[in-house]
Amino acid sequence: MTTERTADLLAKTLRDAIIRFSRRVRQARPVGDLTFSQLSALTSLQLAGALTPRELADMERVQPPTMTKIVGKLEERGLVARTPHPTDGRQVILAATDEGRAVYALHERARNEWLAVELDRLTPEERETLARAAEIMQRVARG
Amino acid sequence: MTTERTADLLAKTLRDAIIRFSRRVRQARPVGDLTFSQLSALTSLQLAGALTPRELADMERVQPPTMTKIVGKLEERGLVARTPHPTDGRQVILAATDEGRAVYALHERARNEWLAVELDRLTPEERETLARAAEIMQRVARG
DNA sequence: CCATGCTCATTAGCTAGGCTAAGTATCGTG
DNA sequence: CACGATACTTAGCCTAGCTAATGAGCATGG
């Protein structure tokens, strides 16, 4: 029972911490920059090399129509290219363009700047705690 | 330099972890339930007892017009009441209604259910790490 | 060999949540 | 008492989520 109670309290604490933290990071976004979601999708794409919309949606934990929108924005800006699947006409292959990779690196850097500065102020132990927490959250999110 | 590099990498890792984690938690929301933001605002209100919109906006790290919207939704549902400030005619006092408190407790519980179950699966050490990370994120968000 | 049913992606249409800029009412002070 | 500052709201915009429905292509069973 103690564990249950702890988990319950932790769930609340964690949610509150995350919502405030996200909003704070969001505020640090320069005008005209890539949004949170766009940057995350672009990152996944680059890491994976190439993905179908469905795969990307699963990876990003959103529904396919949502991913269509996000990819649409990225494509408009020439950062991502859609190419037809070689054998399956229904599917599409998404990949970052050269410009996508370049813009990504730039914006990623700018996006992280505020956060990195803040994190740099922490003690090494605190950073270690956050790194471990990030790993755990990824695992839980993965389900 | 090593610290800077670590902070930079951590910033990216943490962002990715948080965005996926948030989306996963968001998915667990029952239809018709309070949203993430609404629940967070209601929580702050209850903990504080009563707040002005400005105070609540600052606490939730959003701009005042955003808070107007969120509170509007809560008020529509009779969960929050606006009362005039006793001495300052410009200000408004926000407080959770009895129904707000009741509905909050119910929904909070439902909302946490999935997450609490997941967290309960972790080891005590992992939960401890998350708890510590939550505290650190709150501090960073606070600025 | 083709009809039927499944899967993939998109479109349409909705809601919430975030922002800035502008408007309105009130306060407080010179 | 006029005028600047403050508090909240309104208006208008965008992103990001969702579900439901559509259209195109695959695959399979008769």
| Number of C-beta neighbours around residue A82 at 10 A | 12
CATH number at residue A118: 1.10.10.10
pLDDT tens digits, residue range A49-93?
999 999 999 999 999 999 999 999 999 999 999 999 999 999 999
CA of A129 to C1' of C14 (A): 41
d(CA B108, CA B34): 9
B16 and B45 belong to one structural domain: no
Looking at A1-143, list the stretches that DSSP marks H as alpha helix, in order from N- to C-terminal side: 2-27, 36-48, 53-60, 64-76, 98-120, 124-142
Q: Do A122 and B137 touch (CB under 8 A)?
A: no
SS3 per-residue string spanning A59-90 = HHCCCHHHHHHHHHHHHHCCCEEEEECCCCCC
On whether both B80 and B127 belong to a single domain, the answer is yes
Q: Do B60 and B40 contact (CB within 8 A), yes or no?
A: yes
Is residue A133 located within the same domain as residue A106?
yes
* Least CB–CB distance from B134: residue in A14, A120, A124: A14
Task: Please report residues of B whose CB lies closer than 8 A to that of A130.
Answer: 10, 14, 133, 136-137
Identify all chain B residues contacting A10, using CB atoms and an 8 Å cutoff: 116, 119, 127, 130-131, 134
Query: Do B25 and B65 reside in the same domain of the chain?
Result: no
Nearest C-alpha neighbor of A38 from the set B46, B112, B5, B15:
B15
Task: Please tell me whether residues A133 and A71 are part of one structural domain.
Answer: yes
Comparing CA positions, the residue from B113, B51, B63 lying closest to residue A11 is: B113
The secondary structure element, H or E, covering residue B80 is strand B80-84
Containing domain of residue B68, as a range? Answer: 33-142
CA/C1' separation B82–C29 (Å):
29
Amino acid at A122: L
Q: Give tens-digit pLDDT for B97-128.
A: 999 999 888 887 777 778 888 999 999 999 99
Same domain, A68 and A4: no
Tell me how many domains chain B contains.
Answer: 2
Is B112 found in the same domain as B51? yes
Residues A65 and A14 in one domain: no
Query: Does A104 lie in the same domain as A37?
Result: yes
What's the confidence (pLDDT) of residue B28? 66
For residues A46 and A89, state if they share a domain: yes
Q: Are residues A132 and A80 in the same domain?
A: yes
